[in-house]
Amino acid sequence: MFALSLSILSLSALASQAHASSPDAWAAFDKAVLASCTKASGLKDAKPVGNAAQFDDRVGYVAVLLQGQYPQKHMKGQQGSELCLYNKQSKTAYVTEWDSIRPAAKKP
């Protein structure tokens, strides 16, 4: 009976470890998310603003706010912001302009 209990306890421990991620795995995931979002972005020199928002697995997305410069000549290097939603399952990034997150520039 003791051996059976020990076996069940050991299997339970292994099962819980299978779901846990190491710090290296999280770092690799964060790097992949940022690379995908940066590639999908239309901004020049896009950089994350703050940390990514990790949504619950039931939602299946990570959100990243990016900031960079608009590449279009008529925008004359103006700063812009984009929100990236990264789909964990398909490993696909979707971006949309989100300049409204920043306060409007004050006119002199």
What pLDDT digit, counting tens, does each position of 2-35 carry?
343 333 334 344 333 445 689 999 999 999 999 9
d(CA 5, CA 10): 9
Whole-prediction pTM value? 0.73
Parse the chain into domains and list their residue ranges.
Answer: 44-101
32-55 pLDDT, tens digit per residue, is 999 999 999 989 999 999 999 999
CA–CA separation, 64 and 24 (whole Å): 20
Residue 74 DSSP code: G
CA distance 97 to 66: 9
